[in-house]
Amino acid sequence: MSTGRKNIVVIGGGSGSSAALRGLKAHDTSLTAIVTMFDSGGSTGILRDEFGYPPLGDIRQCLLALSPGDNEQVAVLNSALDFRFDSKSSLNGHSVGNLILAALTTVYGGVQGAIDELSYMLQLDGQVVPVTLGEAHLCARLINGEVIRTESAIDLRGANGPGISEVFLDAEVKPNPRAIGALMEADAILLGPGDLYTSVIPNLLVDGVSDAINESGAPVIYACNLMTKLGETSGYSASNFASQVVSYLGGRKLDYLLVNHTEFSKEVLDVYAKEIASPVELDNGSAEKYAHQIMVADLAYIDGLSVRHNSGKLADIVMASIEDPTERPLSHDLD
């Protein structure tokens, strides 16, 4: 691990990783976003199914999150890349950024070359790295044995059927060497925030990723979800989330578990209740089994009636957790 500028690896995908990256880039850090490559919905799904492109949506979000906010030209480019065509267009649902990434993937002979070129254009201070350059779909086995194939089918399942027993890939894929390299050089590894079964854990299903995390020697921090999700984590407490992450890490105990304690208004709670979702609660006495330290803080940002992780507060806590590595507890396997 380095002794100067901190190398921080954020593992996940989409809006959760974007929130973490926006906060962390304000600190003296060298950032790597390791992004899941098993998304199959929306614009990404269309490009994947019809043209054979890899999932691009989460990559686009992380690129935009890492781009400098004080450069006027880059800000204009960001707005264009984030533009999404509406239903009146034959390009309905596609974002400009996904289409440009798709074109660059063809021009440069692969998605990593496309990312590198767009990173240069956006003047990124950091890197976005697909967890794998291989092709696979995410699958979920339910507690009744039924198997659901593709990330979008899992994500949009809602209340259809019983809960998830496990998730797995339908093909063996090799890890991206850049992802393994970043993990081995990390001063801290942040898992999440993001949907447990479709954003965070899928990265751990790629051969060699969990091993690299365990061998890195870096503290592993898991940012627990703010709310449960129907069809995936209904009824889950913080220990349920942490236990699943620990399981897919091969039994390695987390160094830090971050849990929110923001008090939400009745209006916010009512909106989520309609989706059969509720705040994730810390269950004292159980979560300690899966983490050396549990950090409870006001981590939420209320955007209208939607709940998001507060980028700044999340980053401050992550940085505080690695300020004095001599006081960090050593990780070990669960008994």
The pLDDT of 65-91, averaged and rounded, is 72
The pLDDT of 95-102, averaged and rounded, is 85
C-alpha–C-alpha distance, residues 204 and 244, integer Å: 11
**Contact predicate 197/229, CB 8 Å:** no
Q: Which helix (H) or strand (E) holds 30?
A: strand 29-35
Domain ranges of the chain: 22-27+174-325+331-335, 38-130
At position 314, the amino acid (one-letter code) is: L
C-alpha–C-alpha distance, residues 54 and 56, integer Å: 6
Q: Of 142-151, 170-179, 322-331, which has the strongest mean pLDDT?
A: 170-179
Summarize pLDDT for 27-67 with one digit per residue, the tens: 999 999 999 999 876 676 677 767 778 888 899 899 999 99
Is the domain covering 22-27+174-325+331-335 a CATH 3.40.50.10680 domain? yes
Q: What are the tokens at 53?
A: 């492109």
Total-model pTM? 0.91
**Contact predicate 39/197, CB 8 Å:** no
C-alpha–C-alpha distance, residues 97 and 119, integer Å: 12
Q: What is the structure's pLDDT at 284? A: 74
DSSP string, 293-326: EEEEE--EEEETTEEEE-HHHHHHHHHHHTS-GG
